[in-house]
Structure 1
Amino acid sequence: MNINKESISSFLKQCERVLRVSKKPDMDEYKTVAKVTGLGIIIIGVIGFIVSILSQVIFYS
């Protein structure tokens, strides 16, 4: 991997551009993201629980 002054400068310019474009989410956006994330965690947990129950029923009966 070749690291030189130009690649570091390019990386820093990209970081600066990302920081200029990004913004702090407002409360409604934050609540929406929190709800979607929580729902995703619950769905994955339910799927894992169902798979666990099915595997116990199939392999131990």
Structure 2
Amino acid sequence: MGYKKSILEFIEKSRRVLKVSKKPDREEYFTVAKVTGIGIIIIGVIGLIITLLTQILGK
């Protein structure tokens, strides 16, 4: 019966989070999308540089 209590506690905590959260407006959404895109590009460039360096130095 302990699992029912933990499930109910999880549901109550989830409700609390949903009450205080808000839907992002258009500007906030695009800002987050830009930052995420820039991060993905930076990580890709770092991976490309590491791959090129290992190929050059490996020979």
TM over 0.5: yes
Structure 2 residue 53 is the aligned partner of structure 1 residue 49 = no
Q: Match of 2:36? A: 37
- Offset of 1:10 from its aligned partner? 0.9
Let me know the Cα RMSD of the aligned residues: 1.4
* Amino acid of the structure 1 residue aligned with 2:47: G
Which TM-score applies when normalising by structure 1? 0.86
Structure 1 gaps of 5+ residues are: none
Deviations, residues 19-49 of structure 1 (Å, cap 9, x unaligned): 1111110011001101100000000000001
In structure 2, the gaps of 5 or more residues are: none
Corresponding pairs, count = 59
4+ aligned runs moved over 3 Å, structure 1:
none
The alignment's TM-score, normalised by the length of structure 2, stands at 0.89
